[in-house]
Amino acid sequence: MDIIPAVDVKDGKCVRLYQGDYDKETVFSTDPVSVAVNWQEMGAERIHIVDLDGASSGSQLNFQVIQRMIACLTIPVQVGGGIRTETNVGTMMDIGVDRVVLGTVAVEDKELVRSILNRFGTESVIVGIDVRDDLVSIKGWKESTIVSSFDLIDDMYSIGVRRFVYTDISRDGTLMEPNFESIEQMVNRSDANIIASGGVSSLGHIKQLSGLGVEGAIIGKALYTGDINLHEAISIY
């Protein structure tokens, strides 16, 4: 199972939000590049980067920071947040992004996702399923929809998406625990690869996720608070 550190960028800083609330942020570093390099040096084999400003606005407002991070890393990087056009995807690929995470467009424009898959390939695309009360949220988690997480995974799988990041927004940044029940349902839903995110805060949580059969776990706040030691987690799992 992949242990994937998260670097969330807002206003050029490395931050963590509480339950996706932009007014409840904790700044962990003013230098996201050094944070990403540190996770690489501790053994990370992939970094998950989110442009929080981009997710909210629909534009890559932290593009230059992300570009610097990628230039300083030798491991694959997946990036999400405000990537809503085929041109955006192409720009990300041009600077060395390995996978893009699509959220809002997966709900709003199925044909665009199909086009992106056809142009860049299945391995280059992840769809983010960001859920609050079993319904998908979009546009930086600020807008609710009437789309269920299960309907979205079925719809996207039908056009060729094979990798999903599932996030229970109510758990994100809380150090509670993942929504194991929903994650298990996601894993059993199809043959897609599921990456779990939100609430992972102990080695026990990682062990339980591994038992459910997820492809990976994205870990954010717990790494910054020291609740999880990245090197130890990677060496075990």
Q: Where are the domains of the chain?
A: 2-236
The active-site residue out of 8, 51, 53, 168 is: 8
| Tens of pLDDT, residues 167-211 | 988 887 777 889 999 999 999 988 999 999 999 999 999 999 999
Average pLDDT over residues 123-141: 91
Q: Are 163 and 215 spatial neighbours (Cβ–Cβ below 8 Å)?
A: yes
What per-residue confidence (pLDDT) applies to 68?
Answer: 97
What per-residue confidence (pLDDT) applies to 113?
Answer: 98
Q: What distance in Å separates the CA atoms of residue 171 and residue 20, rounded to the nearest whole number?
A: 9
Q: Does residue 89 register a pLDDT over 90?
A: yes
Closest by CA position to 161, among listed 192, 130, 189, 133: 192
Per-residue CA distances from 31 to 35, 109, 183, 230 (Å): 7, 34, 32, 19
Tell me what the pLDDT averaged over the chain comes to. 93
Average pLDDT over residues 5-33: 88
Judge whether 8 counts as a catalytic residue: yes
Q: What distance in Å separates the CA atoms of residue 189 and residue 166, rounded to the nearest whole number?
A: 13
Here the tokens at position 198 are 């939100």
The active-site residue out of 53, 130, 168, 172 is: 130
| Tens of pLDDT, residues 215-228 | 999 999 999 999 99
CATH architecture of 2-236: Alpha-Beta Barrel (3.20)
Q: What distance in Å separates the CA atoms of residue 74 and residue 172, rounded to the nearest whole number?
A: 28
Query: Taking the mean position of all CA atoms in its chain, how far away is CA 230?
Result: 17
